[in-house]
Structure 1
């Protein structure tokens, strides 16, 4: 960790030397440790420390971006000048906005010393306990456990001075037998908030309950999607639907439908970087403060997320969703929440006459038809038959192919309890999802495992 004061003083000194009309510096520094395991054996333990600094400069209506992973002043100045030379040789972009102005940010507790100081030995000790418990049931364990500390800073020539230190801890556990598997995960900024016992017990129980899986014909079934399954769908909906670029290109299922009903009345989706119920992060990579953005409210399309460039095209304001400078056209929601309901997983199961319980999906392809959110993917690590309100036995995995617009219009129950789900943007956001009971979810194929 370089620290706020040193980052600001160094980058401010470099920006003063910029020949550009406007200049921005973005710093992302991370120290992370990862423990991977398979066959109930730790097979990899790695640590990485890296710092990346982006410079974005504008000359008239032209912009250049360059980056370095050296915090040496001479290297920073060289990178700044590279971005300036790139800007000089770009085409004019009439939509290019001015850099954001100075702002204030809410104080969020996103850095925990207990997580930052968590050692490889402590990770190994936690994992060994998981192995020991699984061995009692003759099960193997696979997965990974990571801890990290990061810092993000944005400094620009218009007065933006944003800095946030971060920590993160995540674990996933897959329990395996010769013919079944079970999965559970946890994510938090505070490592001690991870319930290792509950995560382990869930993975083991799912693996044991899905032994000797039976086949079932593809077709339409009432399904209960647990939060991990909902999260993987939401991650794809985020890619294809909730950003301004997708909206304006007409590829989103909400394109041209703001103010109209697009999903079921019980579906509300929003993004809020300040909500501590998820992995909060108070500003974007332009230094714009995050605020709550309603994407879907009671089934009605309400809006999409913007950065400064897409907001200018609409003569509006950035919602605080800029990614790093190499993605100037692609704002993205990184703190997604799906509002829960009044149900519970137990109540959902008891209400199903004949259907399926899905732990999670993998290998999802959400590009089949983005205007309908048509996706395909596989079930994994715990697929079960429900009959007469009870979970009967495990099933061999199935392939689904369905429109998520149709599926999310057929949700008949949502759980009150929600789970924080991991994603690729781990330290700066998350997905917070309930379980869902969906009518007539379509499965298009089956597997032999």
Structure 2
């Protein structure tokens, strides 16, 4: 991967300006156009059976155009950046606009507005090569000490520019790195993952030790009857809560359509919950797909729902302003906050420091291999104050049953343990759950929030969540993993 490609430093902004000029030339001065040109360089090193099996890198350019002509709106995209390709894109989108229904809800273009420069980004991460990622994989594998391992290490660089017919333009750059790995001991799995904006901050050995310790601690699980149990959710499990709250709750389109639980001004969560979407807390782009500046947005403030994410269209529907959350799918699925941070007990309402992914098994009050069930001292502290309940490492295959109350069904994975008198006593077979995520975090339901958070990678470049462990009063387990 290299940021020193054949493109000039301002190539994205130059292409965006060319597209805006083409629209004016072909459709007349009355046409409104907005265009985003983004370049993503992604490199991925995958491993399985404790050996690297895939090392790929690619650079892709995406040109996204939206036009509003004669009361009709159309959108299109492509990867051509030469004159003929750009003209073909504009002609295709203008032709589509002639056949689309009228768009009376068109919210207009973002006017010229100041966009802050990109936050500091790390060129060494953007230019990282396969040897550097392979070294992290080797460290992960060696630290697992003979267990079978699998996972990936990725690095990414993004450069983007925006321009529209109203004279507004912006540009930004960002870099990131992430690692996600699994260790297997017989039929028991343990995982560890971490997102950073500097590759140098990834510790493959620490992640490998953590994954292996959790796999060994998950061996020989026992069956446990379904029911409501107090729980300590580790950061990976909390990350699933944040992702679903984001997609289905704090989504401005769903809110405008009354398909969201969110009720701004209402104390819907425990006072321990402060939730912030903060794309600029790490290396992130300073504007969205409509050119609106991005900023920190407090969604929940000390338990009270404060806001939902909006693009220009959903904001106009409810009579407010865009929060800078327009994305590729916001016109269809809705604008979604993609950089959620759940404030820790030590830093409520302010940026928390992403916790180390190192294993601190000595903090556990259990003996033997069960010590590895607990990833860090913060989780151990929460476990020590739970009389009887379950320690949950991760949630997966989560599906929405009722969007309005956000009732979710899913499974535990990568480690589930019984806690008795503040001690991890047995590994437990995975359980299915059915739970309303807002209800699980409702007033009185959050007993403790950890003091340190982990930043976890999403499946897509540029998205992450930052979560501490949580001790909750109740979680509804409805059956075994098979049903």
Normalising by the residue count of structure 2, what TM-score does the alignment of the two structures yield?
Answer: 0.87
Aligned match of 2:214 in 181, 206, 210? 206
- Structure 1: where are the runs of 5+ without partners? none
Deviations 1:332-359 (A, max 9, x none): 1122121222593222111011111111
Q: Which is worse superposed, 379-388 or 295-304? A: 295-304
Which residue of 1 is the match for residue 448 of structure 2?
413
Which residue of 1 is the match for residue 339 of structure 2?
335
SS at match of 1:344: helix
Q: Which is worse superposed, 101-110 or 241-250? A: 101-110
Partners of 1:56 and 1:325 within 8 A in 2? no
1:255-266 matches, cutoff 5 A? 257-266=263-272
Partners of 1:273 and 1:283 within 8 A in 2? no
Aligned match of 1:402 in 435, 441, 462? 435
Deviation at 1:325, TM superposition (A): 7.1
Which residue of 1 is the match for residue 311 of structure 2?
307
Deviation at 1:314, TM superposition (A): 2.5
Aligned match of 1:271 in 262, 266, 277? 277
Partner Cα distance (2:21, 2:158) in 1? 26
Partner Cα distance (2:461, 2:467) in 1? 15
Partner Cα distance (1:447, 1:368) in 2? 17
Deviations 1:116-144 (A, max 9, x none): 2211122222212322232x3x3110111
Which residue of 2 is the match for residue 184 of structure 1?
192
Q: Which is worse superposed, 401-410 or 1-10? A: 1-10
Correspondence 1:297 to 2:332: no
Q: Give the 3 Å change call, closer, same or farther, for CA 132–421 of structure 1 in structure 2.
A: closer
Aligned match of 2:237 in 229, 235, 239? 229
Partners of 1:224 and 1:438 within 8 A in 2? yes
State the aligned residue count: 441
Q: Give the 3 Å change call, closer, same or farther, for CA 386–230 of structure 1 in structure 2.
A: same
Partner Cα distance (2:103, 2:299) in 1? 28
Which residue of 1 is the match for residue 53 of structure 2?
43
Deviations 1:63-106 (A, max 9, x none): 11111111112101110121111112211111102110122222
Q: Which is worse superposed, 2-11 or 110-119? A: 2-11
Aligned match of 1:54 in 64, 75, 85? 64
Partners of 2:139 and 2:208 within 8 A in 1? no
Correspondence 1:158 to 2:166: yes
- Structure 2: where are the runs of 5+ without partners? 347-376
Aligned match of 2:404 in 347, 350, 371? 371
Correspondence 1:348 to 2:352: no
Partners of 1:344 and 1:414 within 8 A in 2? no
Which residue of 2 is the match for residue 250 of structure 1?
258
**Cα RMSD for the two superposed structures:** 1.9
Which residue of 1 is the match for residue 87 of structure 2?
77
Aligned match of 2:34 in 20, 24, 45? 24
Aligned match of 1:439 in 473, 477, 481? 473
Partners of 1:309 and 1:328 within 8 A in 2? no
SS at match of 2:114: coil
Partner Cα distance (1:359, 1:329) in 2? 29
Deviations 1:130-175 (A, max 9, x none): 22232x3x31101111112121221111122211122121111111
Deviation at 1:393, TM superposition (A): 2.8
Q: Which is worse superposed, 351-360 or 298-307? A: 298-307
Q: Give the 3 Å change call, closer, same or farther, for CA 304–32 of structure 1 in structure 2.
A: same
Q: Give the 3 Å change call, closer, same or farther, for CA 148–273 of structure 1 in structure 2.
A: closer
Deviation at 1:425, TM superposition (A): 3.4
SS at match of 1:167: strand
Normalising by the residue count of structure 1, what TM-score does the alignment of the two structures yield?
Answer: 0.93
Partner Cα distance (2:300, 2:119) in 1? 28
Partner Cα distance (2:22, 2:160) in 1? 22
Deviation at 1:448, TM superposition (A): 7.4
SS at match of 2:22: coil
Partner Cα distance (2:209, 2:424) in 1? 17
Deviation at 1:7, TM superposition (A): 2.2
Correspondence 1:238 to 2:246: yes
Q: Give the 3 Å change call, closer, same or farther, for CA 201–3 of structure 1 in structure 2.
A: farther
SS at match of 1:417: coil
Partner Cα distance (2:15, 2:441) in 1? 49
Correspondence 1:387 to 2:420: yes
SS at match of 1:426: coil
1:118-157 matches, cutoff 5 A? 118-134=128-144, 136=145, 138-157=146-165
Which residue of 1 is the match for residue 359 of structure 2?
none
Partner Cα distance (1:328, 1:171) in 2? 31
